[in-house]
Amino acid sequence: MSIDLKTIKHISKLSRVSVDDQKAEKLANDLNSIFKFIEKLNELKTDKVEPLTSVAETTLKLRSDEVKSNNIREQIVKNSPQDNEDYFVVPKVIE
Amino acid sequence: MSDITKQSLSELVRNIKNKKVSSEEITKEFVNRSEKSKELNAYITEDYSSALDKAKKFDQKPNLNLKLPGIPIAVKDLFCTKDIRTTAGSKILNNFAPTYESTVTQNIWNEGAILLGKLNCDEFAMGSSNETSFFGNVQNPINKNLVPGGSSGGSASAVAGQLTPITIGTDTGGSIRQPASFTGIVGLKPTYGSCSRYGIVAFASSLDQAGPMAQNVKDCALLQEVISTYDSKDSTSINFKRNEYSKELTNNIKGKKIGIPKEYRVDGMPKEIEDLWQKGINYAKDCGAQIIDISLPHTSYALPTYYIVAPAEASSNLARYDGVKYGFRAKGENLIDMYEKTRSEGFGAEVQRRIMIGTYVLSSGYYDAYYLKAQKVRKLIKNDFDEAYKKVDAILTPSTPSAAFKIGEKKDDPVSMYLNDIFTVPVNLAGLPGISIPAGHDSKGYPLGLQIIGKAFDEQNILNIAYAMEEKIDFKNKITDWWIK
C-alpha cells in the first residue's frame, strides 16, 4: 500500500491542517515509511481477539448532576485570542 | 551551607526539618544555578522571583510536617499551572495561562513545594529527543550537543544538571524512562490510573501517565507518594490502596522472582547494552533475587501498535486547538481557512505528522484495518504480561537500545527515532509501572539505564528492587558543569 498526494490532501482536509504541495510530498514520504513499519501487524491473526480500549478495568463512573463551578465566564474567555467580553469571536460564517 | 544543589531531595528535606537551612537559602541556590544554566535550555518559563517570595513566606511560618517543606521544584511544561504560562512546548499554546491547576502539581504544592518554573519538552510530548519543542532543543548535562532524550528532556536535564532537586514528567511511550536513562537519573512511570491526568495537556489519553524523576530511588519513592492520589476529576483515576512508598521502601528483595524476557534481545542491539543487562542480572542475583527466563512473544509488535493507538488518540485530543477558545490564531479568509492556517502554523512538523497518521487510521474505510487491529494486538501484548506475571514478580530489561545520541542525528528519520522507545512502549500499552535506574556507562562515558517493570499497582515492589540494585550498582553520574562559564 502506498499513500499518494491525493490521500495526503484528503487527510489534511479531515484534520483541518492546510498542507502545500511541498509539505504534502514530505508527509507522503514520511507516512509511507511509517506505514511500512506498521504493516508488520498483518502478520498476526486477530479474528478472535477482543480489542483492548482501556487498561483501567473499571466502568466509567457517573457523577451526580450538580453545578460545581459558578460564574466562571470570565475565566472561560480569558485565553481566547479574540473576544468581545462575553463571546468568542470568529470570522464571519453567514454572508 | 555549601553545595545545596548537590544534595538529594531527602537530604534537603532532612536539613530543612532540622532547621539547618531555610527554604529561602535552598531556593536561592537553585535559582542561581538555574540562571547560570541557560545554555541547557531546560526551562521554557522561569518563575524565580515568585519562588523566592514564596520561600520567604514559607520560612516565616514553616510547616515542617509537610513532605516537601519549602522545597523548590521545576515541573514539565505539560502540567497546567494556574496563571502561569503552560505551553506543552508548542507555538499553539505560546500565550496560554491556565485558569486552573493540575491535580498532580496541586498535590506537590499542598505538601509545601514551591514552583521554580516550567521545563522544556517535546511539542505535546511527541518526541524522543526534545528536538520537536517550539522553544528549541535541550542540552544533555552529560555532554554538549547530546540530546537529553524526550519527551521529558528539560525535566531530565534539570534534575541531572541539579537545577531542581526533583521533577515530575509524563510518560506516554517512554517519555520519563528514556530521558532518565540518557541523563543518568531515576524515572518512574506509574501504573495507568495511579496519578491523575486532570490538568495535564493530553496526548494519548489511554497511555498518558505522570511520574517522578529524581537523583535516586528514595527521592523518587517520596515524590510518587505525594503525586499518586485518587481524583474524581479524572474518569480513569483508580481508587486503590496506595502505599507510603518512601516509608515502606526496603532493600530486602530476597526470593523475589525477576523475569528476563528473551524477546528484548533485539537485532542489532549494541554489545554494551547486552553487557549492561547481564550486569543487572548479576546485581539482582547478588541481592538475593531469583532470575527466571520468560517470554513476551508479541514484543516486536508493540511499536507498530503504539504508532497507531497514540497518533489516533492524539489526532482526536488535538482537535480542540482551533484558534477560537485559547491559544494561537492565524488570520484566515473564512472560518475553515482560519482553522486550517491556525493548525498548520501553530503545530510543528512532528505533531502534524502524528495528527495525519491518527486521522488516517481512524478515517472511514481504514478504521478496522488499522485502529481496531492495533487494539486487538494491544490485548495480546497485555496478555503476554499477564502470563509472565503468573511466574514472576517483576521483569528486568534495558531501558533503551542505546545511550544518548547527538542532536540532529535522528531528526530526519521518524522511524529510527521511534525505535528508541522499543523497550518502554510495551509497558504503556499494558498500563504497567516501570522504573529506569542508571546502571552503568557506555564506552564514551554516557549513562545507560536498566528498567524494572512491575505488576499493575505494584509500584512498591519495583521501587524496592530498584532500591536494592541501586545500592549494588553504586552509579556515579559524570557531570562536569561544562555549560557553566
Task: Please give the residue of chain A at the shortest CA–CA distance from B97.
Answer: A79
More confident residue, B200 or A85: B200
Distance from CA of B434 to the nearest CA of A (A): 15
Q: Percentage of chain B with pLDDT > 70?
A: 100
Task: With a cut of 80, say whether residue A48 has pLDDT above it.
Answer: yes
Task: With a cut of 80, say whether residue A57 has pLDDT above it.
Answer: no
What are phi and psi for residue B447, nearest 5 degrees? -70, 150
Question: Once rounded to an integer, what is the mean pLDDT over residues B455-472?
Answer: 98
**To which residue does cell 485558569 refer?**
B99
Predicted confidence band of residue A93 (pLDDT cuts 50, 70, 90): confident
Q: Percentage of chain B with pLDDT > 90?
A: 96
Taking alpha carbons only, the member of A88, A17, A18, A15 closest to residue B326 is A88
Give residue A69's pLDDT. 81
How far apart, in Å, are the Cα atoms of A36 and each of A27, A31, B354, B398?
14, 8, 15, 26
Question: Once rounded to an integer, what is the mean pLDDT over residues B461-482?
Answer: 97
State the amino acid at position B406 in one-letter form. K
Give residue B475's pLDDT. 97
Instruction: Compute the C-alpha angle B136/B160/B444, nearest 5°.
Output: 90
**To which residue does cell 496519578 refer?**
B195
Task: With a cut of 70, say whether residue B21 has pLDDT above it.
Answer: yes
CB contact under 8 A, B357 and A54: no
Question: Once rounded to an integer, what is the mean pLDDT over residues A20-42?
Answer: 94
pTM over 0.80: yes
β-sheet bridge partners, residue B318: none
pLDDT, one tens digit per residue, over B412-451 is: 888 888 888 999 999 999 999 999 999 999 999 999 999 9
Task: With a cut of 80, say whether residue A31 has pLDDT above it.
Answer: yes
Task: With a cut of 60, say whether residue B1 has pLDDT above it.
Answer: no
Question: Once rounded to an integer, what is the mean pLDDT over residues B278-302?
Answer: 97
CB contact under 8 A, A12 and B235: no
Rounded Cα distance, B397 and B394, in Å: 10
pLDDT, one tens digit per residue, over B123-159 is: 999 999 999 999 999 999 999 999 999 999 999 999 9
B-chain residues within 8 Å CB-CB of A60? 235
3-state secondary structure of B65: coil
CB contact under 8 A, A37 and B236: no
How far apart, in Å, are the Cα atoms of B392 and each of B7, B254, B387?
36, 13, 9
Predicted confidence band of residue A1 (pLDDT cuts 50, 70, 90): low
Do B242 and B228 touch, CB atoms closer than 8 A?
yes
Which residues 349-388 on chain B approach chain A with CB closer than 8 angstroms? 352-353, 355-360, 363, 370, 372-380, 382
Do B297 and B262 touch, CB atoms closer than 8 A?
no
β-sheet bridge partners, residue B290: B257
Mean of all residue pLDDT scores within chain A:
89
Question: Once rounded to an integer, what is the mean pLDDT over residues A64-68?
Answer: 88
Task: With a cut of 60, say whether residue B353 has pLDDT above it.
Answer: yes
CB contact under 8 A, A91 and B332: yes
Task: With a cut of 70, say whether residue A94 has pLDDT above it.
Answer: yes
Give residue B2's pLDDT. 56
For helices B349-362 and A21-38, give the axis angle rounded to 10 degrees: 60
How many helices and strands in chain A, by DSSP H and E?
3, 0
pLDDT, one tens digit per residue, over B369-424 is: 999 999 999 999 999 999 999 999 999 999 999 999 999 998 888 888 888 899 99
B-chain residues within 8 Å CB-CB of A18? 337, 340-341, 343-344
CB contact under 8 A, A34 and B307: yes
Predicted confidence band of residue A82 (pLDDT cuts 50, 70, 90): confident
Predicted confidence band of residue B335 (pLDDT cuts 50, 70, 90): very high
* Interface probe, candidates B231, B351, B357, chain A, greatest A C-beta count within 10 A: B357
Predicted confidence band of residue A61 (pLDDT cuts 50, 70, 90): confident
The residues, any chain, with a CB within 8 Å of residue B133's CB and separated by 6 or more, are: B44, B89, B120, B121, B122, B123, B127, B153, B154
What are phi and psi for residue B309, nearest 5 degrees? -65, -50
Question: Once rounded to an integer, what is the mean pLDDT over residues B32-40?
Answer: 97
Task: Please give the residue of chain A at the shortest CA–CA distance from B457.
Answer: A56
CB contact under 8 A, B235 and A75: no
**Out of A18, A30, A56, closest to residue B353 by CB:** A30
Do B161 and B141 touch, CB atoms closer than 8 A?
yes
How far apart, in Å, are the Cα atoms of B345 and each of A18, B338, B414?
9, 10, 21
User: In this structure, which topology does domain B4-263+274-296+386-473 adopt according to CATH?
Assistant: Amidase signature (AS) enzymes (3.90.1300)
Q: With an 8 Å Cβ cutoff, is B301 touching chain A?
A: yes
Catalytic residues of B: 76, 151, 175
The number of C-alpha atoms within 13 Å of B350 and in the hemisphere containing its C-beta is 28
- Sequence ranges of the domains in chain B: 4-263+274-296+386-473
Task: With a cut of 80, say whether residue A85 has pLDDT above it.
Answer: no
Query: B300: how many CB neighbours lie within 10 A of its CB?
Result: 16
Question: Once rounded to an integer, what is the mean pLDDT over residues B91-100?
Answer: 96
Rounded Cα distance, B100 and B87, in Å: 14
Distance from CA of B252 to the nearest CA of A (A): 30
Strand order in the sheet with B114-119: B43-46, B114-119, B72-76
CB contact under 8 A, A53 and B327: no
pLDDT, one tens digit per residue, over B155-177 is: 999 999 999 999 999 999 999 99
**Is the backbone of residue B242 left (phi > 0), alpha (psi -120 to 50) or beta?**
beta
Taking alpha carbons only, the member of B124, B374, B61 closest to residue A38 is B374
Predicted confidence band of residue B229 (pLDDT cuts 50, 70, 90): very high
H-run or E-run covering B220:
helix B217-227
Q: Percentage of chain A with pLDDT > 70?
A: 96
Q: How far apart are the first and last CA of chain B?
A: 22
C-alpha grid cell for residue B404?
544518548
Go through the domains of chain A in sequence order and give each one's CATH number: 5-43 (1.10.20)
H-run or E-run covering B376:
helix B373-388
Task: Please give the residue of chain A at the shortest CA–CA distance from B92.
Answer: A81
Give residue B412's pLDDT. 82
Give residue B48's pLDDT. 98
**Out of B235, B323, B359, closest to residue A11 by CB:** B359
CB contact under 8 A, A41 and B373: yes
3-state secondary structure of B121: coil
Residues in chain A: 95
H-run or E-run covering B290:
strand B290-294
Give residue A53's pLDDT. 87
pLDDT, one tens digit per residue, over B47-57 is: 999 999 999 99
